[in-house]
Chains A and B, each alone.
Chain A
Amino acid sequence: MQATHTAGHAGEHTHDEHGHHPSGWKRWVTTTNHKDIGSMYLWFSFVMFLVGGAMSLVIRAELFSPGLQYVSPDFYNQMVTLHALIMVFGAIMPAFVGFANWMLPMMIGAPDMAFGRLNNWSFWLLPPAAILLTASLFVPGGAAGTGWTLYPPLSVQMGIGMDMAIFAVHILGMSSIMGSINIVTTILNLRAPGMTLMKMPLFCWTWLVTGFLLIASMPILAGAVTMLLTDRHFGTTFFNAAGGGDPVLFQHIFWFFGHPEVYIIALPAFGVISHVIPAFSRKHLFGYASMVYAIAAIGLISFFVWAHHMYVTGLPLTGQLYFMYATILIAVPTGVKVFNWVTTMWRGSLTFETPMLFALGFLTLFTIGGLTGLVLAMTAVDIQLQDTYYVVAHFHYVMVAGALFSAYAGLYFWLPKWTGHMYNESLGKLHFWLSIIFFNIAFFPQHFLGLAGMPRRIPDYAQQFADFNVMSTVGAFGFGISQLLVLVVVFQSLKGGAKAENRPWDGAHGFEWTLPSPPPYHTFEDPPAFNPSEAHA
C-alpha cells in the first residue's frame, strides 16, 4: 500500500479552517481534529474506567464475607447501577469511539472525520452526562438503584437520582447518535480513491455496522427512558399496571436496545483483534469476506434476540423457543470469526508482544464467555440461572476479557504510532499477565456461585458461598490495582523511550503505518494512492 501523506504540510497548506492551532485548554475545548478528539475520548474513558472500577471494588469489598459489612443495601444497589452505567456508557463505548476517531481517517486515507464540529460536540456531551451520573450519589435518596436496566416499577418510584440517570442516558444517547452519524458518513464518503467497501480494513467494517446499530437502537433507549420520565412526572402510565400500562413492556423495549448494545461494544473489539492477530502472525487475515458477512450477520441478528433476557417474564412457549433458537444462531457468525482468527495464526510467524498477548487473552476468554452465553440461551437452563452469579460471570467474560482486553490490545498496538515512542514491553507483559490471572480469579468462581444459586444484586449471601466470594474479591482487587500499570506505560511512552518507526510492527499493513510516528497534526490532505493488491492486510 503506497501513500502520499502530507507530513509537515500543516504549515504549508492554506487550510485555514483546519490550520489554526489554539494552544492550552482552548485547543482541547475547540478542537475539530480527529486525533485530539480521539485522545480526549480515550482519556475520558480511562478516567471513567477508574471511577466505575472503584465502584466495583466497593461491591466486591461488601461481598468479601457474608452479612452486611461496609455499606447499606440501598447504597450497594446504587453502586451496582452506577458501576454498570459508567462502565458501559462511560468507559467501554467511548474507548472504542476514541480508537475510531484516531484510526478510521488514517486507515481510509481521509484528512479527518466528515464533521469536525459535530465530532467535538459528540465528545463534550460526555463529561456533563458523567457528572450527572456521579453527582446523583449526593442528592436526596441517592443515585438510581435499579440496576443499569432501569426496570419499572422501581424506576418510576425512585427519587431525583433517577431523573439524573435518565437525563444522563439521554445525553449519552445523543452523543452516540451524533458520533455514529459522523463515523458512518466518514467511512461511506471519505475513503481514498480505489478503496472499495470490500477492500476496507476490517476495523472500518466493524465500525460501519456498529454505527448503524447505534443509530437504530439508541433512539429506542431514548424513547424508553422518555416514557419512563413521563410516567414519573407527567401522569402517563406506559409502565404502570394501575393505569393500564405494563412494566414488562419496558423490559421488551429496553432489551430491544440492550442486546444490540452488546454487539455495539463487541464488534469494534472484533475489529481491533482482526488487525492485531494478522500483524503478529505476519499473515493476511484469513477469510476477509466471510469476516465481513459475519459482522453484518451478527449486527442484523442482534435485533431479533432481545427476549432471551426475559425468559422468566411469562413469554409464551413458542416465544421462548423462537428466542432460544435465534440466540443460538448468533454462534454461527461468531464461530466463523473465531475460526478465522485461529486460522490466521495457523503456520504464521508468531511473536508474542503485548498486543498479541491481549489478543490471545481475548480469544480464549471471549470464547468462554460466548460458550456460557450459549448455556444461558437455553430457556430451560436460563430459568434456573436467571439473576444468579452465573450471568454476572458470563457477561464479565464478554465485557472485560472481551471488550477491555481488545481495547488494551489496540492501545498497545497503536500507542507507538500515537506517541512516537515504543512502550515498555516488560511492563506491558506484566500488565497482561497480572490482568489475565486476576481476572480469572475474580470471575471464574462466579460460575460456581451462580450454579449453586447465589443471586446477584444482593449485598448479603448464605454461608456456603463464602469461599468463592473471598477468591472473587481478592481477584477483583488484584485486577483493579494491576490496571494502574497501564497508566505508567502510557505516561512513559508519552514522555520518551525508544523512537517508534513509521511501522513499528513488521507484520502491520495499511495507510496508517505509512505515516510518521507520531503522525502530523493534519494527514492525508491529498487522498493517498491505494494499492488494491495489498488490501485486507
Chain B
Amino acid sequence: MTRNGGAREQGSRRIAIGLALFAAAVFVSFIVRQWMASS
C-alpha cells in the first residue's frame, strides 16, 4: 500500500483491463455458445 503513484496507476490499469477482458469474454463466449447450439 506504500507504492508510488506510477506503480499504483499501472496496477489500476491491469485490474481494469482484466475486468474488461472478462466482461468481453462473457459476452462473446455466451453468444458463440448459443450460436453453436442453434446451428
Chain A positions near chain B (C-beta within 8 angstroms): 114-115, 118, 177, 180-182, 184-185, 188-195, 215-216, 218-220, 222-223, 226-227, 236-238, 244-245, 249, 253
Contacts and interface: CB of A to CB of B under 8 A. Distances in A.
Contacts of B38: 236-238, 244-245
24 contacts: A118-B16, A181-B16, A181-B20, A181-B23, A182-B16, A184-B19, A185-B12, A185-B15, A189-B12, A189-B15, A190-B12, A216-B22, A216-B26, A219-B23, A220-B27, A220-B30, A222-B27, A223-B27, A223-B34, A236-B38, A237-B38, A245-B38, A253-B30, A253-B34
Contacts of A177: 20, 23
Contacts of A192: 1
A189 B3 CA distance: 10
Contacts of B31: 223, 226-227
Contact of B1 (A194, A219, A227): A194
A244 to B, nearest CB: 6
Nearest to B17: A181
A64 to B, nearest CB: 43
A191 B11 CA distance: 13
- Main SS of the interface on chain A? helix
A526 B20 CA distance: 29
Interface in B1-25: 1-2, 8, 11-12, 15-16, 19-20, 22-24
Interface residues of B, number: 18
B12 A219 contact: no
Contact of B23 (A182, A185, A190, A215): A215
A218 B12 contact: no
Nearest to A191: B1
In the A-B complex, list the 9 residue pairs whose CB atoms are closest, starting with the nearest. A219-B27, A219-B26, A193-B1, A223-B30, A114-B12, A185-B15, A181-B19, A189-B12, A185-B12
A118 B12 CA distance: 13
Contacts of A190: 8, 12
Contacts of B26: 216, 219-220, 223
Contacts of A236: 38
A215 B19 contact: yes
A185 B34 contact: no
A180 B22 CA distance: 12
B16 A115 contact: yes
A358 B19 CA distance: 35
Nearest to A184: B19
Nearest to A211: B19
Contacts of A218: 23
Given A216-B23, A223-B31, 10 more contacts: A181-B20, A185-B19, A188-B15, A189-B8, A191-B1, A192-B1, A216-B22, A219-B30, A220-B27, A227-B34
Given A181-B19, A194-B1, A115 B27 contact: no
A111 to B, nearest CB: 10
A244 B38 CA distance: 7
Contacts of B12: 114-115, 185, 189-190
A528 to B, nearest CB: 12
Contacts of B24: 219
Nearest to A527: B1
B10 to A, nearest CB: 10
Contacts of A115: 12, 16
Contacts of A118: 16
Nearest to A192: B1
Contact of B15 (A184, A227, A253): A184
Nearest to B32: A223
Interface string B27-39: 1001100100010
A256 B11 CA distance: 31
A249 B34 contact: yes
Residue among B20, B22, B23, B26 with the highest chain A CB neighbour number at 10 A: B23
A115 B12 CA distance: 8
Contacts of B8: 189-190
A177 B25 CA distance: 13
A219 B15 CA distance: 18
B39 to A, nearest CB: 9
Contacts of B11: 189
B27 A185 contact: no
Contacts of B20: 177, 181
Contacts of A184: 15, 19
Contacts of B27: 219-220, 222-223
B1 A238 contact: no
Nearest to B22: A215
A237 B34 CA distance: 11
Nearest to A180: B19
A183 B1 CA distance: 18
